[in-house]
Amino acid sequence: MSERAGRKTTPGRTRVLETKGRMQHGDPNPGNRITPPNRDATREAILAGTCPICGKTGFKRLAGHTYHAHGIDRMELRSMGGFVLKDSICAPDVSEACRQRTRERVEAGELRRGNPGGSGPYELTGEGKRRLAERNRQRGEQIRAEYESAPDRCRMCEAPIPFDQRSNATCGETCRRGLLAVSARLQARREGKPGSDRPPKECVACGARFRPTGDYRTSTCSIECRTAFLRKRGAERRKGPGECKVCGAPVERRPGRLPAKTCGPGCLKALFEARDALRRKDRGTCKICGTRIPASMAPTAKTCGSDTCALASRVEAGRRGGTARRTPEEHTNGTTDKA
């Protein structure tokens, strides 16, 4: 019986065992090392603030650089240089500043010693939690004030975007749809297919004539007509019994739900087997990058599934989701042209 299995494991002991396991890592990237792959040279480089992977120097907190640039966290960096947890791998002034800040927080009553289940020798007191929440609140108010003093502008109407929606490019649904239409029109113009060359279509919901500005396969003239059409189609599908996808036998509709796909377990097994056989077929190559399409993709997949190839495929097909964002000058020029 192992030591871990023979003893009662507490949260603090579990953390210690996990830490010891992480400290046993080997060199995570020995092939791209700038310094010689030995522990002494790596230790000297880390203490000098030099990255042992790329050779950049002048870092006061080297672990931050290795994590974001090379994917090596502080525990792996310590194991590469043979450091233990109590050894400091930061610059001396940074370590002293951290110790001074900790002493000040202890004197102010924010920290106290004794945290057996945590990651350090200190834990927050009630006063420390209150002050931390207050600092977070002040920081949030500062970020909001800075944003409201110079808010982002809508790329269609130049109206200020609210703070809660600052990640959006437009101020609302109307401008968002307009931006998508402008982007689709510019994409069609670049491909030599301006919107004026497309014949108008008839809306399947209201019968009005319209010219699609994005994907030409659009069958409705507005979001309201699209919602009404989907509701009507869903109601029609719920009428009467369904049909088994294997043998064609009628399948009664369940209360409040759509009919099942098959009439019984036998047909359900046959349906799964046919689906698996179809998935095991060769998908061919991606029409964008030329690589083999994984078997996990849908049988009708035309790309390898990567974001780049999927976006390029949507742009090539003229879909709204594949249009890229343009500059305000391009959008302004696009809005003045008639679709």
Q: Residues 267-290: pLDDT tens digits?
A: 888 888 888 777 677 778 888 888
Higher-confidence position of 206 and 308: 206
Which tokens hold the place of 83? 């450091």
DSSP code string of 34-75:
SS-SSHHHHHHHHHTT--TTT-----SSHHHHHHHHH---HH
DSSP code string of 307-320:
HHHHHHHHHHHT-G
pLDDT for position 145: 92
**Confidence band (pLDDT; 50, 70, 90) for 177?**
confident
Q: Which residues contact 191 (CB under 8 A, 6 or more apart)?
A: 318
Alpha carbons 55 and 18: distance in angstroms, whole number = 30
Query: Is residue 269 helix, strand or coil?
Result: helix
pLDDT for position 322: 41
162-171 long-range contacts, Cβ below 8 Å, gap at least 24? 169/325
Residue 254, pLDDT above cutoff 70: no
Mean pLDDT of 118-142: 85
Query: Is residue 83 helix, strand or coil?
Result: coil
**Segments making up each domain of the chain, as ranges:** 10-90, 238-280, 284-324
The answer to whether residues 206 and 225 touch, using CB atoms and an 8 Å cutoff, is yes
The answer to whether residues 82 and 41 touch, using CB atoms and an 8 Å cutoff, is no
Residues 77, 83, 86, 91, CA torsion sign: negative
Q: Residues 284-339: pLDDT tens digits?
A: 888 888 888 887 777 778 888 888 888 787 777 765 444 444 444 444 454 444 43
